[in-house]
Amino acid sequence: MMAADQTLAGVPSSLSAKVVGSFAYLTVRDRLPTILTKVIDTIHRNKNKFFEEYGEDGIQAEKQTISLLSKLRNELQTDKPVLALTDGLPDTESWNQYLNRQQRLQGDQESVSWFKSAWLYVECYMYRRIQEALLLNPPISDYDVFNEGKTQSFFESQQAVMALCTYLEGVKKNIDELSRNQLFEHFNKLLLVSLWGNKCDLSISAGQENSQKTSPLDSLSSLQPFILVDDSSMVWSTLISAQKPGESGKTTADRVDIVLDNAGFELVTDLIFADFLVSSGLARRIYFHGKSFPWFVSDVTANDYQWTIRQTMATNHKWMSKSGFQWQTYLKEGVWSYHDHPFWTQPHEFCDMAADAPDLYATLQGADLVLFKGDLNYRKLTGDRDWDHTVAFNTALRGFGPAPLCSLRTLKANVQVGLQSGQGEKLTSQDPSWMTSGKYAVIQFYNSKSE
Ligand SMILES: O=P(O)(O)OC[C@@]1(O)O[C@H](CO)[C@@H](O)[C@@H]1O
Ligand SMILES: [Mn+2]
The verdict on residue 5 lying in a domain is no
Residue 1 inside a domain? The answer is no
Atom of ligand 1 nearest to the CA of 23: 14
- Is the CB of 407 inside a 6 Å radius of any atom of ligand 1? no
Amino acid sitting at position 91: D
Ligand 1: which of 23, 201, 407 to mutate, judged by most atoms within 8 Å of the beta carbon? Answer: 201
Residue 128, number of CB atoms within 10 A of its CB: 20
Distance 262 CA to ligand 1 centre (A): 10
Q: What's the gap in Å between 412 CA and the centre of ligand 2?
A: 10
Asked if 45 contacts 213 with a C-beta cutoff of 8 angstroms, the reply is no
Does residue 16 belong to any structural domain of this protein? no
Give this complex's ipTM: 0.96
412 with 336, same domain: the answer is yes
145 in a domain, yes or no? no
| Other CB atoms within 10 Å distance of the CB of residue 401 | 22
User: What pLDDT was estimated at residue 276?
Assistant: 98
Ligand 1 atom index nearest CA of 31 = 12
Task: Compute the C-alpha angle 438/442/447, nearest 5°.
Answer: 150
Alpha-carbon distances of 364 from 180, 316, 361, rounded to whole Å: 28, 37, 5
Ligand nearest to the CA of 290: 2
Nearest ligand 1 atom to the CA of 410 is: 4
Domain membership flag for residue 185 = yes
Residue whose CA is closest, atom 14 of ligand 1? 413
Instruction: Look at residue 114 and tell me if it is in a domain.
Output: yes
Q: Among all ligands shown, which has an atom nearest to the Cα of 379?
A: 1
pLDDT at 4: 40
Do 115 and 173 belong to one domain? no
| Closest protein CA for atom 6 of ligand 1 | 376
SS3 372: strand
Alpha carbons 241 and 106: distance in angstroms, whole number: 46
Q: Do residues 131 and 242 share a domain?
A: no
199 CA distance to ligand 2 centroid (A)? 10
Helices 158-173 and 147-156 sit at what angle, rounded to 10 degrees?
60
Among 80, 104, 136, give the residue marking a domain's end: 136
10 Å CB burial of residue 61 (0-12, 13-18, 19+) is buried
Is the shortest distance between the CB of 122 and ligand 1 below 6 Å? no
CA of 1 to the centre of ligand 1 (A): 32
Query: Domain of 159?
Result: 150-446
Residues in the chain: 451
15 ligand 1 Cβ < 6 A: no
CB of 27 shorter than 6 A to ligand 1: yes
| 421 shares its domain with 386 | yes
Distance from C-alpha of 59 to C-alpha of 207, rounded to nearest angstrom: 25
99/171 same-domain check: no
The response to whether residue 231 sits with its C-beta less than 6 Å from ligand 1 reads: no
Same domain, 281 and 421: yes
361: nearest Cα among 376, 378, 348: 348
Q: Are residues 177 and 115 in the same domain?
A: no
Given 103, 136, 169, the domain boundary residue is 136
Distance in angstroms (rounded) separating the CA atoms of residues 21 and 17: 8
**Phi-psi sector, 175: left (phi>0), alpha (psi -120 to 50), beta:** alpha
Per-run averaged pLDDT (10 residues), the chain, 451 residues? 52 97 98 98 98 98 98 98 93 96 93 97 98 96 96 92 96 94 97 92 63 78 96 97 79 91 97 97 97 97 98 97 98 98 98 98 98 98 98 98 98 97 98 96 94 70
Residues 89 and 196 in one domain: no
- Domain stops at, among 84, 106, 136: 136
Q: Total domain count for the chain?
A: 2
Distance 138 CA to ligand 1 centre (A): 29
Asked if the structure places residue 14 within a domain, the reply is: no
Query: At 58, which CATH number?
Result: 1.20.930.60
pTM: 0.95
Q: Nearest bound ligand to CA 380?
A: 1
CATH classification at residue 156 = 3.40.50.10880
Count of beta carbons in the 10 Å neighbourhood of residue 110 = 13
- Are 349 and 201 in the same domain? yes
